[in-house]
Structure 1
Amino acid sequence: MVTHYEPYADSEEEAHPFCRTKSSENTLTDNHWDSVSCKKCLKLKDKAKAYVEETEKHILKDMQGMVDFWKKEKTLQS
């Protein structure tokens, strides 16, 4: 059995390991590199870390946009 890396593992959704290997016998871990044993995932570790960092920056930017929007809306309604 091999443990793959999936940055946003969700037990209710279909598994999508970062290396794109498909197998029902494998397990997944999210952001716990110590337990990853898949050689493909480990080879892609730097790319996976960059992907997670970029995704989180994008999420934070979107969240800040919503905060700014609601602040503006509140100011307009006051």
Structure 2
Amino acid sequence: MTQIHSNMKKRTYTHLTDIERGQIAAYLEQGLSLRNIAKKMGRDVSTISREKKRGSVQQIDTFRKPYTEYFPPCL
């Protein structure tokens, strides 16, 4: 039996470009919130949040205190 009608909508997402990842890094350095970054870039806030989470690493400063830093991937 085959299904003729589908209730699945066609997905319309696009991947982030390297330029957009660089913009995210620059905006984060300026101290902008994830919502403001998403609004400026015309993306959903969850996209920015996931990218930040994916590209963040934990570092240790000179006083041995951990902090998190976002690094866009270099291709």
TM-score by length of 2: 0.29
Greater helix proportion: 1
TM-score by length of 1: 0.28
Greater strand proportion: 2
Higher relative CO (Cα under 8 Å, sequence separation at least 6) belongs to: 1
